[in-house]
């Protein structure tokens, strides 16, 4: 037994020395590795497949999560952009109202429109200003483009206004081109005014600008009211059929200016203060 072990040891050492010198075993090892490679691939295939499946599922979950996150961020960004656009438009409207206040030159107050009458023949809306703010019946309303209407009912905190296009409203106006004075009457249509008191020989033309004449002391003089869009002279009648388009954005306004007459400013303010104390 001991002799056999010794002989095997000598053989092993001899082979190691020969392999170290001539690299015979490397050739054998390379040949065996070629033969064993398909078996190694076959054994390793299930583990690689499982790892690939796990990686694919993990990648898909990550992509789905990232997609959801990006969708949420996009929606939030769009919401902020829409809000920013709305704020920019509101800022522009307020600047235009402030410019209108400077042109009027008298005391004025911005009021927000709370609700509009849905009746097509009643052109009215409610404002968030009332007696506590000094609002009074008959007070004029304007916007950045022109005359809007006037107050017809006042409460402690709110007020009701009638538009110049209401069928029951009439407004003294003058033709800016020649100073011709007349009356603009509402039609119930937010896009039309009627001038029923112009004779066939009246000097009016399509495109003429109508401005408030200041008669009656309600509306500030010289403020745009509308522009004539249709003139029909009928020989068989005494008066022409003249239609005008309002200058103000009556169906799009969100804020308006309440205008005080200089003569009424002080007494109305003291009256409003007394009413506010009473409430």
pLDDT tens digits along 62-72: 888 888 878 77
- Distance between CA 279 and CA 259 in Å, rounded? 24
Strand partners, 142: 147, 257
pLDDT reported for residue 244: 95
CATH number for 107-278 (one of 2.40.10.340, 2.60.120.330, 3.40.50.1820, 3.20.20.190): it is 2.40.10.340
Instruction: Say if residue 215's pLDDT is above 90.
Output: no
Q: Which of 39-48, 168-177, 183-192, 231-240 has the lowest mean pLDDT?
A: 39-48
Across residues 144-156, what is the average pLDDT? 91
Which among 162, 166, 88 has a CA at the least distance from the CA of 127?
Answer: 162
Instruction: Say if residue 107's pLDDT is above 60.
Output: yes
pTM equals 0.59
Domain boundaries, the chain: 25-104, 107-278
Question: How much is the mean pLDDT over the chain?
Answer: 78
The tokens 């429109």 sit on which residue? 113
For 24, the token pair is: 């015979």
């Amino acid at each position: 037994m001991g002799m056999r072990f010794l002989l095997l040891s000598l053989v092993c050492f001899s082979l190691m020395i020969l392999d170290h010198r001539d690299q015979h075993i490397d050739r054998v090892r390379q040949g065996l590795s070629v033969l064993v490679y398909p078996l190694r691939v076959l054994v390793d295939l299930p583990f690689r497949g499982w790892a690939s499946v796990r990686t694919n599922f993990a990648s898909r979950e990550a992509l789905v999560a990232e997609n959801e996150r990006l969708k949420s961020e996009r929606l939030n960004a769009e919401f902020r952009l829409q809000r920013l656009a709305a704020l920019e438009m509101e800022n522009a409207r307020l600047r235009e109202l402030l410019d209108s206040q400077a042109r009027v030159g008298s005391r004025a107050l911005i009021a927000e429109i709370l609700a509009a009458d849905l009746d097509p023949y009643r052109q009215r809306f409610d404002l968030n200003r009332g007696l506590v703010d000094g609002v009074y019946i008959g007070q004029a309303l304007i916007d950045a483009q022109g005359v809007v209407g006037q107050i017809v009912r006042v409460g402690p905190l709110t007020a009701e206004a009638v538009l110049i296009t209401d069928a029951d409203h009439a407004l003294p106006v003058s033709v800016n081109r020649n100073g011709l004075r007349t009356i603009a009457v509402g039609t119930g249509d937010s896009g039309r005014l009627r001038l029923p008191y112009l004779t066939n020989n009246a000097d009016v033309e399509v495109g003429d600008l109508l401005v408030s004449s200041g008669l009656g002391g309600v509306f500030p003089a010289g403020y745009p009211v509308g522009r004539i869009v249709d003139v029909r002279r009928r020989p068989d009648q005494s008066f022409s059929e003249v239609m005008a388009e309002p200058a103000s954005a009556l169906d799009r306004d969100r804020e308006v200016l309440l205008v005080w007459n200089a003569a009424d400013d002080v007494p109305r303010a003291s009256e409003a203060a007394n009413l506010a104390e009473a409430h």
